[in-house]
Structure 1
Amino acid sequence: MHIVAPAQASMNLANVQVPLLESYVHSPQVHIAASNNPALRGGYFVNVEEERAAEVAELLDTIKRDRADMLAFAAAIAEADDLLRQNATGFDLTPLYPKLPPALNGLVELAYDTSNQASVHVIEPLLYHSKAFDRRRQSVQLSLDDGVERPFILSTPRLPSPGVLDLPIPFDHPGLDVLMRARTGGSTVAELREALELDDAGAVFLDRLVDPAPSLAPDRHIEGGGRIRYFGHACLVLQSPEAAVVVDPFISTDNRHGDRYTLDDLPDHIDLVLITHGHQDHIVLETLLQLRSRTDAIVVPRSSRGNLCDPSIGLYLKSMGFTVIEADDFDEIPLPGGNRVVATPFLGEHSDLDIRAKSTYVVQLAGLSAFIGADSSGIDPVLYRYIRSHLGGIDKAFLGMECDGAPLTWLYQGLLTRPVTKKMSDSRKLSGSNAEQAGAIMKELGAGEAYIYAMGEESWQGHVMATTYTPDTYQIQQIEEFLTWCKAEDITAEHLFNKREWRW
């Protein structure tokens, strides 16, 4: 999301991606060596072979030429922040508006918070109609999933490759829905060629990517009761005969193994997709684009409006043609069959930044109540007491225990207008609950079952997560401690991996 949403994309392009590419062009060998070092997995190194360095240099030149407006917007944000730092001393901010860089005129408001600290607030809906947002940046690559881990998405550009069909189309292109509907409804290469605006070579390549026989799972729907399936990482699919809900879809497309659920196992129609927060492992665009044509609406947490570190998930998805429902804490969204989803508060995990676009959910379906906790922390367990008092008891709780997450700058460096020290960054982690906090959540929710998920351990997630665990890793030790506590408390508990199903 941070490389599509206009303000954040501009700042990441200027402050992270361009310097990263410049560093690679200067010393490609350093980047390649680092990319091949397991200890540096997930670091900011361009994983492109040295013989393609000229292509990276050409890409860098193209960005500087064709994305000059975005780079100018990022520079203007930095200039405006300097202006406030030097002149916003608690007095009237009106005289500063004529001094703003032209790239920000009409697109920002200057404001103090209640601590008398001044900041720039962007008028985000307008940014999608400004020079800071250019759909010509968007494109799609189609390829077969061979199970080989792709380069880390936050560091490595995708260059044209022999086994890839490049589609120079924006994410809201209707041809993508025609292509994805073919999974369940069938199509022809001729229809897909027209929908995707392919030339002869593209049509020939597409023919290699499609199959005459569907691979849909026969048990993807249920006729009675309820079912939850764990699809890996933070993705859950909750079903009744009348309703289907998918949470944080990040789904494997490699259906050769049988050790996981894939897109073949999804119901043909999805009532709601729930997004818990805006991190790249929870709002996965390559999966979402494949679900758009079969989904009624995506439920997302409402942002704080205008905060540079808190872009609107709703605006982001609407710009790509999704139907969106923005939810505040304790908003209710009905489901067919008298079921419902309730948005509930999400605590912590965002490096202490003022980010409101995060939500947990309680899904009440077919007589069962499930708490979808994602990476929400138990730093103040009383919150979960309020959730229980408001919504009643919980049957199953799904909790994230990435309790030693990445530091602040790993994800937010490009959005920081004032530098932080390494010590400061390291103290502000993207961390979920540890064993003690997870236990406190369970006590306050009164749930009888606990399932640890969202740990990034599945094999198909490395290009997004880049996590590496061993039995001695702190996170794994904390999970074991929590499972031991649950056993002593007579709570059914499990550390989920790859796939799992519950029926009632």
Structure 2
Amino acid sequence: MTGTGHYLAASVSPQPLVHRWYAYPHLISPLTAGFNLKHRQLAILESYLADPAFHDEAISNPSRIAGPFLDAQGVPEDKLREFQEQAVRECAPLLRFADDVGEMRALLRAEADGRPLPSLYPRLPESLRGLVELTYDDFGQASYRFFEPLLYRSEQYRRELQRISLRRAPDPAQPFIFNSPLLTDDDRVDVALPFDSPLLDELFQSRWEAVDPAALAERLGLTGSGAERFVTLYSTDAPPAPVPKPESGVRMRYLGHAGILLESAQDCVLLDPILGYRDDGHQHLTLVDLPRHIDAIVLSHAHADHVSIETLLQLRHRADVVVVPGGSAGTVLDPALDAMLRALGFQTVTALGDLQSARIGAACTVTAIPFLGEHADLAIRSKMVPLVEIGGRRFLFATDTVVLEPELHRRIPDLLEGVDAMFIGLECVGAPMSWLYGPLLAARPSRENDRRRRLAGSDAAMADTLARLTGARRVYVYAMGFEPWLRHLTGSVYDADSEQVRQTGLLLEMCAGRGVPAELLHGQGERSW
């Protein structure tokens, strides 16, 4: 296939990989990548090689998709061991950084007893020198913070390990992203470019603008069979024409999980987008259904089911600005989203602190409402509940927040009263703290506390309390992980008796009792105000 007039097919899935593992926020940040590589990925790989049958049996149970089990995907053990050795060799700076942070933590525990800290700087591991500030908190406990933008200039940020792996169509059997590398090359074309490369914008733009795929393959550095396979990913089928903006009011289109598109006659805002692709066997909106221009992408918090590197990279050339929560403490637990996105090639990123607002587009405002809960009581500041004012309407995206302290919301009635619609998740069970943050912790919690401090959202009563406080005229339950085409990202498996399903039903009943329309968003949907 040569010549112009060809488009990247709507079914093609371009997956970002870091040393063959699917890229999510904690694998991008140099603060967290080495810890996850050492204490999660290589540990699971080593466990598999010690007892493959144990892992094979575990993954045969769909309910264990998000457990610490490796899906070998048919790759023989000798190839997995070869990959393990290669990972240790090529990722040595990342692994050394994790060890050196551990050494710094031990130094602070041993000697930071209230004495002045300047004498400890010369004793820091070489890889940390000039990147970190040592401090005490208000309890007199030693702490530290990293200058994150400098980390993206250091050897800890390994751009050469990054690549885009193109699949002809989504893999319904793709393993959970935390635990298994993607080693098989069947139906894949790898583009060995770092994520900040402008050439990737050209690649992703070819979904909407016709190109000569053979010429593009050459610019991307593909040769031989790789170039030949790349060309087959293109089709003469043009993408559908974009849906015109509403002439008045606001239109909401649901994209799956926490992805919401808001459009007025003037503005277009996209929240927490994680989009699927055509031909995956399910009905939902995809990338080609989005508007050609997006005024802003708004991200609520840095969990993998809300910050999709895969989706964001494909939209980089189409969005004016990305609005993210600010206030990161520069710690291993809390990498900064704005620093990460700039390293990924996003030119305009706005970070909002609590109650700060940003004007976007012609007449739209995004305000960062404080986000409590869902992070297992850890000191995570890179999170916000976006309040979006667009087309004369007000929308609150409470995502996974927990209404722990209603007084917080009572203190800002000028911001929250009169919300036209509230969106909230009811994943009220959640995984134990160590499921996500275990590799990053300096000290392991007791098993009891680990299971009690969960990554859980609100239940029905909490969500109803927030709906009452805001006077929400409509309530939507979303971000529950019901979408089967996103299971490799969410790890969610529910049945009719699941507590999350029961709580959803309770909230819908509570709202109906007050005469407030409420529904569970699933798959796709469109509503107007």
Please, which moves more after superposition, 20-29 or 392-401? Answer: 20-29
For the 8 Å contact 2:409–2:416, the answer to whether it is kept is no
Give the match for residue 423 of structure 1: 448
In structure 1, the partner of 2:324 is: 300
1:370/1:395 contact within 8 Å kept: yes
Query: Where does the alignment leave 5 or more consecutive residues of structure 1 unmatched?
Result: none
- Give the aligned partner of residue 240 of structure 2: 216
Alignment partner, residue 51 of structure 2: 27
Equivalent in the alignment of 2:63: 39
The residue number in structure 2 matching 1:374 is 399
Which residue of the partner structure matches residue 424 of structure 2? 399
Unpaired runs of 5+ in structure 2? 1-24
* TM-score (structure 2 length as normaliser): 0.92
Deviation at 1:160, TM superposition (A): 3.6
AA matched with 2:130: G
- Contact 1:150/1:463, CA 8 A, preserved across alignment: yes
Structure 1 position 217, deviation (Å):
4.8
Q: Residue 497 of structure 1 aligns with which residue?
A: 522
Shift of 1:87: 1.4
Matches within 5 A, 1:243-392: 243-255=267-279, 259-322=283-346, 323-390=348-415, 392=417
Aligned residue pair count = 504
Aligned to 1:438: 463
Superposed displacement of residue 51, structure 1:
4.5
In structure 1, C-alpha distance between the alignment counterparts of 2:305 and 2:244, rounded to whole Å: 24
Deviation at 1:185, TM superposition (A): 2.0
Contact 2:253 2:260 in 1 (8 A): yes
Which residues of 2 match residues 218-237 of structure 1 at below 5 A?
A: 218-219=242-243, 221-237=245-261
Check the 8 A contact 1:244/1:271 in 2, yes or no: yes
1:184 aligns to what SS in structure 2? coil
Q: Displacement, 1:153?
A: 0.3
Structure 1 residue 58: Cα displacement: 1.2
Shift of 1:314: 0.7
Cα RMSD of the aligned pairs, angstroms, is 1.6
* Deviation digits for residues 249-268 of structure 1 (CA, Å, limit 9, x no counterpart): 10111257672111121000
1:308 deviation in Å? 1.5
Contact 2:217 2:231 in 1 (8 A): no
**Is the 1:344–1:387 Cα contact (8 Å) retained in structure 2?**
no
TM-score normalised according to structure 1 size = 0.96
**SS in structure 1 opposite 2:217?**
helix
Cα gap change, 1:49 to 1:102, in 2 (>3 Å): same
The alpha carbon displacement at 1:372 in A equals 1.1
Q: Which amino acid aligns with 2:319?
A: T
Q: Does 1:168 align with 2:168?
A: no
Q: Is the 8 A contact 1:220 1:266 kept in 2?
A: no
**What does residue 498 of structure 2 align with?**
473
Of all paired residues, the percent bearing the same amino acid is 37
The letter of the residue matching 1:319 is A
Letter of the aligned partner of 2:339 in structure 1? L
Please identify, of 136-145 and 327-336, the stretch whose mean Cα deviation from structure 2 is larger: 327-336
| Bigger mean CA deviation after superposition, 87-96 or 452-461 | 87-96
After superposition, the Cα gap between the structure-2 partners of 1:211 and 1:25, relative to the gap in structure 1 and judged at 3 Å, is: same
Residue aligned with 1:231, SS: strand
**How much has 1:237 moved relative to structure 2?**
0.2
1:145 maps to which residue? Answer: 169
CA distance change for structure 1 residues 164 and 501 in 2, over 3 Å: closer, same or farther? same
Query: How much has 1:389 moved relative to structure 2?
Result: 2.3
- Given candidates 404, 411, 421, the residue that maps to 2:436 is 411
Tell me, yes or no, if the aligned pair for 1:175 and 1:192 is still in contact at 8 Å: no
C-alpha distance in structure 2 between counterparts of 1:85 and 1:337, whole Å = 52
Q: 1:187, 1:147 → 2: CA distance?
A: 26
Residue 106 (structure 1) aligns with:
130
Query: Kindly tell me: are residues 223 and 345 of structure 1, through their superposed partners in 2, closer, same or farther at Cα, counting changes over 3 Å?
Result: same
Paired residue for 1:241?
265
By how many angstroms is 1:166 displaced? 1.1
Amino acid at match of 1:17: Q
Q: Is contact 1:300–1:325 with CA below 8 Å preserved after alignment?
A: yes
Q: Give per-residue Cα distances to partners, 1:217-262, cap 9 Å, x unaligned.
A: 5526444432111111000000112211110010111257672111
